[in-house]
Amino acid sequence: MEQFWLPNLEYLKTVLKLNLSSVIDIFIVAFVMYKLMMLIKGTRAVQLLKGLAVLLIATSLSSLFNLYTMNWLLRQAMTALVVALPVVFQPELRRALERLGRGQFLAQRTMLPGEVDQARVVAEVSRSATVLSKNKMGALIILERETGLEEHISTGVRIDGIVSAEFMVNIFLPKTPLHDGAVIIRGDRVAAAACFLPLSDNPHLTTDLGTRHRAGLGVTEQSDAVAVIVSEETGAISLAVEGALSRYLDEATLQDKLTSLLGKKTGSTLSHLWFRR
C-alpha cells in the first residue's frame, strides 16, 4: 500500500511546488490586472466590456445549440470587433499611457461614494438652475449615472465638493475661472468643473441651439448621463437625456424629471463644458 501511494505523493509535491519567481510573477500579473480594472472603473469602457461579454456568451450558445447562421454572423462580428477595439478604447488606452509616462500608474484612485441622498442632490441642482435662470447665467450641469464619465472629468479641474446650490451658482458666475465649462456631478459630489464635452452629431438640431446645448446633448448621446442646461441668452432651463432635449422647464418640473431619472440610481453625477452659448 505504501509503495502505491509514495509515487503519487511525490508527483503531487512536484505539481504544487512553487518557486519564488513564480510567486512574484503571479503577484505582478494580478496587480497589473487590478490597476487596469481601476483605470477603466467609472468610464464607458465598463459598459463596452459588458457588451463584449454578451457577444462572447451569445457566440458560445449559438455554437452549443447548432445555430450555424447565427454563429457565423457573431463570429464575423467578433472578428471586426477585434480590429475596432483599439479605436473603441482609445481614450482609456491614451489615459493609461499618459499615467504610465507620468509615473502615476501605481497611484491609488479615490473610491466612488457609497449611498447617496439623491433627493437632496436633485433639490440642490434644481434650485441652482432656477437661480441661474433668473440671473441669465449660462450653465451646464451633467449628472453621471451608470456610464462613467471619467474621461470627461479628466479634462476639467477636479473639485470633489459637496453638491449645493450656492456652490454651483458661484462656479457659473461670469468671469470666474471655472464658469466657462461644464460641471460634472458624481453621487453627491461635484467631481469637476470647466470640463470639455463632445458636441452632438445630430444634423437636425435647430440653429437657435448654441454650443452649450449641443455639448449637453452630445454627452447624453454617448452615455446615459443627464444634462441640465441653462441658456445664457434667454435664461431657459433645458434637460437633455439620451440625445433628446426638453426645454423651458420650471423648478418643479425639472425636479420631478430628475427624480424620475435618478431615483433608482445612487451613483455619481458630473457635468463639464468649455464653450458658452
Structural domains of the chain in order of their starting residue, each with its CATH number: 2-101 (no CATH), 118-262 (3.40.1700.10)
pLDDT of residue 13: 57
Nearest to 239 by CA among 265, 261, 264: 261
pLDDT of residue 89: 66
pLDDT of residue 124: 96
Nearest to 85 by CA among 60, 56, 110, 48: 48
Q: What are phi and psi of 180, to 5 degrees?
A: -90, 40
For the stretch 43-77, pLDDT in tens is 666 667 777 788 888 888 888 888 888 888 888 88
Query: What distance in Å separates the CA atoms of residue 20 and residue 113, rounded to the nearest whole number?
Result: 38
With vertex at residue 209, the alpha carbon angle to CA 261 and CA 211, rounded to the nearest 5 degrees, is 90
Question: What amino acid is encoded at 165 in this protein?
Answer: A
Nearest to 179 by CA among 249, 276, 261: 276
Task: Give how far Cα 241 sits from Cα of 13, 172, 218, 270, Å.
Answer: 60, 22, 10, 14
Cβ atoms of 145 and 262 closer than 8 Å: yes
For the stretch 77-96, pLDDT in tens is 877 777 776 766 666 666 56
pLDDT of residue 27: 84
pLDDT of residue 114: 47
pLDDT of residue 92: 61
pLDDT of residue 195: 95
Split the chain (277 residues) into runs of 10 and give each run's mean pLDDT.
52 59 80 74 67 84 87 83 70 61 51 66 96 95 89 91 94 91 94 93 86 94 92 95 93 94 53 35
Query: What distance in Å separates the CA atoms of residue 217 and residue 197, rounded to the nearest whole number?
Result: 9
Cβ atoms of 140 and 215 closer than 8 Å: yes
